[in-house]
C-alpha cells in the first residue's frame, strides 16, 4: 500500500512509548474505513504527482517546499492543479515549488506571536491537537523538534497534509485523521502539547484540559490558544446559538477564567502571554478559500460585535507546565 512506509516510520518514532497502536491511523486501511467519498480520487492524485526533489526547504521564516526552478512547466501545473483541487485552504500560507497557496488564515502571524514565549523546541517530542493541515507542524520541525505529531479528525485537512508530505516523506512530521479520544489512555510522553482553536469547540473544556495534561511528561509545556471574552475570573460566555456564524462554540472564557481552569486541573506556572483581537489582515477570504470568513461573521455596523450581537473574536495564548504524575488531579495515576 502507498503509505506502508509512513506507518512504519511513525511506529518507529513511537517505539517504547506505549503509543505504538496509533501508528495504525497512518494506514490507508484506516483512511478507507472513514468512508470519505474522495479517498480514491485523492490517493490516485498523489500517485500521479511528479517525483521531484526540492532543492531546499524553509520552515523558519515561512513554509517553503522547493522552488519554481526545481520543476518543469508540466510538473508545476500538476502540483498547482492538485493543490487547487483541495480548496478551501484554511491554514497557511504555503509555497510549494512556486505554487503560492494564500490560505484563509495567516497562520504565520499566530506563530510569530507564540514562538518567543514557549520553551525551545529543539529535541522535543511535540503533539498538536487540532493541527489542521499541518502548517504549525512544519514550523515546529523548523525549530528543531525531534518529532511532531498532528491530531485532527477532518479528512479534508488530512488530505492537504498528505499532498505536502508527498514531497517531505523523510521528515519526522506526521498527521493522523483522528481525535485524541481514539488514543490509548493518557500516556505522558510528549514534551510539548499544543491545543489551538479547540477548547471552545469542546462541550467539557475541563475534561479537554485533563486529557491534554495526560499526554504531557512532568514538566512538559501546554500551549493553549482559544477564543476569550473580557470578564472577571469565573466568567465564561456560553453562546445561545451560533457564534460569528459558527454553530459548535460552547464556552468562551475570560482570560482569568482560562487560567483558573488550568490551575484547577493541576497545571503550574500558568500565564497568558498574548491576547489578540482577530482582524481581516489575519483571517480573510482568498482565491484559495473563496467562502465566508471573519468579516461575514461580524456586525457590518459595529465590527466589535458578531452578527449575533456577541463580542467579536479575541484570542489568547496561555502557557502552563504539567505537574509531576503524583500531583495530577485527573485520570489515573501512572
Cβ neighbors of 129 (< 8 A, separation 6 or more) are 151, 152, 180, 193, 194, 195, 198, 212
**180 known ligand binder:** yes
106 annotated binding-site participant: no
List helix spans (H) across the chain.
Answer: 4-14, 28-33, 39-48, 73-84, 107-114, 135-142, 155-165, 205-214, 255-264
φ and ψ of 132, to 5 deg: 60, -135
Give the number of other Cβ atoms within 10 Å of residue 332's Cβ: 9
For CA atoms 252, 258, 264, 267, give the dihedral sign: positive
Task: Tell me whether residue 202 is annotated as binding.
Answer: no
- 39-48 and 155-165 helices cross at what angle (nearest 10)? 10
Residue 212 in marked binding region: no
Residues 125, 191: contact at Cβ < 8 Å?
A: yes
- Residue 176 has φ and ψ, to the nearest 5°, of -130, 140
- 16 burial class (0-12, 13-18, 19+ CB within 10 angstroms)? exposed
With a CB cutoff of 8 Å and minimum separation 6, the contacts of 204 are none
3-state secondary structure of 250: coil
Question: Is residue 130 part of an annotated ligand binding site?
Answer: yes
φ, ψ of residue 270 to 5 degrees: the values are -80, 130
For residue 302, what are the contacts with CB-CB under 8 A and spacing of at least 6?
none
Is the N-terminal amide bond of 93 cis, ω within 30° of 0? Answer: yes
Query: Is 246 annotated as belonging to a binding site?
Result: no
Find out whether 315 is annotated in a ligand binding site.
Answer: yes
Q: Tell me whether residue 58 is annotated as binding.
A: no
127 known member of a binding site: no
- DSSP-assigned beta bridge partners for residue 318: 224, 272
Distance CA 43, CA 9 (A): 19
- State the binding site: 91, 105, 110, 130, 180-181, 196, 200, 315
- State the binding site for carboxy-S-adenosyl-L-methionine: 91, 105, 110, 130, 180-181, 196, 200, 315
Amino acid at each position: 500500500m502507498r503509505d506502508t512506509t509512513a506507518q512504519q516510520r511513525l511506529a518507529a518514532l513511537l517505539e517504547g512509548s506505549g503509543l505504538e497502536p496509533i501508528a495504525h491511523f497512518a494506514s490507508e486501511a484506516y483512511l478507507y474505513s472513514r468512508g470519505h467519498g474522495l479517498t480514491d480520487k485523492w490517493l490516485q492524485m498523489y500517485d500521479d504527482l511528479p517525483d521531484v526533489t526540492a532543492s531546499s526547504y524553509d520552515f523558519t521564516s515561512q513554509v517553503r517546499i522547493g522552488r519554481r526552478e526545481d520543476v518543469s512547466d508540466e510538473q508545476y501545473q500538476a502540483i498547482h492543479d492538485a493543490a487547487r483541487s483541495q480548496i478551501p485552504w484554511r491554514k497557511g500560507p504555503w509555497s510549494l515549488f512556486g505554487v503560492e497557496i494564500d490560505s484563509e488564515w495567516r497562520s504565520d502571524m499566530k506563530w510569530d506571536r507564540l514562538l518567543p514565549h514557549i520553551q525551545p523546541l529543539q529535541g522535543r517530542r511535540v503533539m498538536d491537537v487540532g493541527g489542521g493541515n499541518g502548517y504549525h507542524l512544519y514550523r515546529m520541525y523548523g525549530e528543531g523538534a525531534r518529532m511532531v505529531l498532528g491530531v485532527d479528525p477532518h479528512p479534508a485537512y488530512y488530505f492537504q497534509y498528505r499532498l505536502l508530505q508527498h514531497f517531505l516523506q523523510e521528515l519526522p512530521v506526521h498527521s493522523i485523521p483522528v481525535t485524541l479520544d481514539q488514543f490509548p489512555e493518557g500516556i505522558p510522553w510528549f514534551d510539548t502539547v499544543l491545543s489551538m482553536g479547540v477548547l471552545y469547540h469542546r462541550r467539557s473544556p475541563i475534561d479537554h484540559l485533563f486529557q491534554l495534561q495526560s499526554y504531557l511528561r512532568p514538566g512538559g509545556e501546554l500551549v493553549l490558544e482559544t477564543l476569550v471574552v473580557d470578564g472577571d475570573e469565573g466568567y465564561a460566555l456560553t453562546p445561545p446559538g451560533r457564534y460569528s456564524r459558527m454553530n459548535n462554540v460552547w464556552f468562551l472564557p475570560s482570560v482569568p477564567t482560562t487560567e483558573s481552569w488550568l490551575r484547577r486541573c493541576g497545571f503550574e506556572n500558568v500565564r497568558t502571554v498574548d491576547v489578540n483581537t482577530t482582524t481581516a489582515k489575519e483571517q480573510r477570504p482568498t482565491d484559495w478559500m473563496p467562502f465566508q470568513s471573519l468579516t461575514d461573521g461580524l456586525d457590518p455596523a459595529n465590527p466589535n460585535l458578531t452578527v449575533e450581537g456577541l463580542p467579536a473574536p479575541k484570542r489568547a495564548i496561555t502557557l502552563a507546565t504539567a505537574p509531576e504524575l503524583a500531583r495530577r488531579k485527573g485520570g489515573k495515576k501512572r
